[in-house]
Amino acid sequence: MEKTIAVIRGDGIGPEIVGEAIGVLDAVAARFGHCFTYREAPMGGCAIDAFGVPLPDSSLQTCLESDSVLLGAVGGPKWDAQPSHNRPEKGLLKLRGAMELYSNVRPARMFEDLASACPLRPDIAARGIDFVVVRELIGGVYFGEHRTDEAEGEQKATDIMAYSEHEVRRVAHVAFQMARKRRHRVTSVDKANVLDTSRLWRRVVTEVAREYPDVELLHMYVDNASMQLIRDPSQFDVIVTENLFGDILSDEASQITGSIGMIPSSSMGQGTRGLYEPIHGSAPDIAGQDKANPIGTILAAAMMLRYSFDMAAEADAVEAAVDGALKAGYRCGDILQPDCIPVGCREMGARIRERI
Ligand code: NAD
Q: Pick the last residue of a domain from 256, 285, 315.
A: 256
The per-residue pLDDT for 194 is: 98
In angstroms, what CA-CA distances link 173 with 132, 177, 207? Answer: 14, 6, 11
The series of mean pLDDT values per 10 residues for the chain, 356 residues long, is 98 98 98 98 98 98 97 96 92 92 92 83 90 94 94 94 97 93 95 98 98 98 97 97 95 83 91 92 97 97 93 95 95 90 98 98
The per-residue pLDDT for 321 is: 97
The per-residue pLDDT for 257 is: 83
The residue whose C-alpha atom lies closest to atom 24 belonging to ligand 1 is: 281
If asked whether residues 236 and 129 sit together in one domain, one would say yes
The domain in which residue 212 lies consists of 119-256
The per-residue pLDDT for 53 is: 97
Q: Give the Å distance between the CA of 286 and the centre of ligand 1.
A: 9
If asked whether residues 130 and 210 sit together in one domain, one would say yes
The per-residue pLDDT for 178 is: 87
The per-residue pLDDT for 211 is: 98
The residue whose C-alpha atom lies closest to atom 4 belonging to ligand 1 is: 283
In angstroms, what CA-CA distances link 252 with 194, 230, 245, 310? Answer: 23, 9, 11, 30
What phi and psi, each to the nearest 5 degrees, are found at residue 38? -105, 135
If asked whether residues 73 and 167 sit together in one domain, one would say no
For residue 166, give the amino acid letter.
H
Could you tell me the pTM of the whole model?
0.88
Q: Does the residue 312 lie in any domain?
A: yes
The per-residue pLDDT for 56 is: 98
The per-residue pLDDT for 19 is: 98
CATH number at residue 159: 3.40.718.10
The per-residue pLDDT for 85 is: 87
Active site residue 142: yes
If asked whether residues 229 and 285 sit together in one domain, one would say no
Among the listed residues 163, 191, 276, 307, the single catalytic one is 191
The answer to whether the Cα torsion of 195, 212, 134, 268 is positive or negative is: negative
